[in-house]
A and B are shown apart, each in its own frame.
Chain A
Amino acid sequence: MRGLMVLLGFWVSAAAWALPVLPVVEVAPGLFVHVSEHHWPDRDNHGEIANIGFIVGDKCVAVIDSGGSPQQGIELRNAVKKITSKPICYVINTHVHPDHIYGNSAFKEPGVKFIGHHKLARAMASRGPHYLSRADEVLDIRVTPDNIIPPDLQVKDRMTLNLGNRELVLTAHATAHTDNDLTVYDKATDTMWLADLLFLEHIPVIDGSIKGWLKELGQLEQQPYKLVIPGHGKLVKDWPASMQPQKAYLLQMASEIRTLIKQGKTLEYAVEHVGLTAQQNWQLFEQFHRKNITIAFAELEWED
């Protein structure tokens, strides 16, 4: 209810200012999130489908994921400006996918440092041309290489940022959801911003390594975070309980695929037969499940 009031408040004031402001909710002191609904990226939603937000310190602000379109980036920037007069010092991109980086250009100004996993720049370079070539047709947005900003600071392992009496610990993960996943831990509120290492309701999307992802989850679930922010899905206050469906989905898929590989079955066969019982548990199952099988199969057939 309070969230709704805040949303409404922003909407009303945005209309009054005639300035598009992204609705955000203060989910922990100084930590603001825009929680998205689950949609296939298309021309209606312009790829604005991920959870994005920012954290405010005494000195400055860190933006975490800039949005799925240049326009959403502008709206997120306006949301920051509306809430605080402190400058934005960092834009953290949690990984290469367009729904997390296409707002970057809205934040490009002196004093703002872009931060990413040490493999993010390579992923941006190799996938960028394809993403850009499809954006007009698929998302109905106009983007150029200027909208994809490679990181000024690269996180190889760990990096601590100080926003002024507020430390963020960034961790570069081994290949999991993608090969360039970065998480943000806010010490002040014991909040872990897992981004796309965690999906709720929205089917998990594998674009890296199913084995690697399970391994990272195994480590992350040892930590007792008070609040966890997924890249897609509602906020998690019962970590790691809310993560179990994702883990079960990945485990079952890996197990079924390994059995088929042993039986000499093909990728084409696996795509039609693996993990179909999971369908009822996930939104966008049709759009992503077979792709997940494809990527997992191509990985697991090399494991011995």
Chain B
Amino acid sequence: MKTFAKLVCLCVFLPVLAFAEGDDLTWNSSLKNQFFAGKAIEESDAVIELEAPYRAEDPAIVPVKVTSKMPQTPGRFIKKIWVLVDKNPFPFVGEFEFFPESGKADLAMRVRVNTYSNIRAIAETNDGKLTMTKKFVKASGGCSAPIGADLDEAMKRLGKVKFRLDDSMQTGQPTQAQLMISHPNITGMQMDQMTRFIRKSHFIDQLKVTFNDKPVLNAKIDIAISADPNFRFYFVPDKAGELKAEFSDISCESPTSRSVCKKGESYAQQYTVTP
């Protein structure tokens, strides 16, 4: 009887799994048009590659990494990278702008993944060409939820910033920097009848990083970024100077619409770099 039940279960379930494994339905039916209407996108790993765990250990903190296949030069560089999680209630993770001064258009971050989904990164080079790469991620079930574990702790530190630089920094060479921002990045997705505490989404929506006032990274980000946003990116320390992060948060009425939002606070923090 038990075996029979398992068999039935498998039969019902297997097609669903096969179907779910990396399907492009959401992309084809809406995301492509929403973000890249009328544009040609080549699917390949030639410009960027995407790393993400096949199984998301904690759906609230899924490390993803975009690695560029070309250096950033004034003549040829990656201008923008979009990151989307197809099956998230709000698929847009972020739009990241890079510059020749970035040195390398690599980017690592931590994201929320609601369910089994493709994560995709689309790069635009300065000639306007779009290249897309994707990875399938299984967000695990059980007791996990794609929000943070300790909201109050994150609230207490709100706005705190940490920088970390590669020990092997060399003058004039692309150097990796890690930027950590303490912010709960509240999704705003909770049950209405119980919402006596937090109702709105509250997240960092703009981030700008400069080195000696020259742009390194500009980002427009959203609730799919994990609590305590954490980014690794490159810059070129051609001489001593200030690496500066400026960011702001926003509060929106709905987790899945950005039509009614209220600007929040602005923050800035800098870090002295001596190569």
Contacts and interface: CB of A to CB of B under 8 A. Distances in A.
State whether these chains interact: yes
Interface of A: 40-41, 43-44, 97-99, 119, 121-122, 124-131, 133-134, 138-140, 145, 148, 150, 175, 178-179, 205-209, 212, 264, 266-268, 271, 287, 290-291, 293-295, 298-299, 301-302
Interface in B174-205: 180, 182, 189-191, 193-198
Contact of B152 (A124, A130, A179, A266): A179
B58 interface: yes
B147 interface: yes
B190 A128 contact: yes
A271 B57 contact: yes
A266 B6 CA distance: 41
B151 A145 contact: no
A247 B166 CA distance: 34
A291 B143 CA distance: 11
Identify whether the interface residues of B are mostly helix, strand, loop, or mixed.
loop
11 contacts: A97-B143, A121-B194, A122-B151, A125-B197, A126-B198, A130-B114, A138-B142, A175-B153, A206-B149, A209-B149, A299-B153
Q: Which 4 A-B pairs have the closest CB atoms?
A: A125-B194, A138-B141, A290-B57, A125-B190
Contact of B194 (A124, A131, A175): A124
Contacts, number: 127
Nearest to A126: B190
A122 B115 CA distance: 22
B212 interface: no
Nearest to B51: A268
B156 to A, nearest CB: 10
A131 B145 contact: yes
B190 A287 contact: no
Contacts of B57: 271, 290-291, 293-294
A126 B146 CA distance: 10
Contacts of A178: 149
Given A207-B149, A294-B58, A302-B228, A287 B191 contact: no
A206 B146 CA distance: 14
Nearest to A139: B141
A208 B61 contact: no
A290 B198 CA distance: 30
Nearest to B180: A301
A254 to B, nearest CB: 15
A97 B145 CA distance: 10
B164 interface: yes
Contacts of B228: 298, 302
A178 B108 CA distance: 28
Nearest to A43: B9
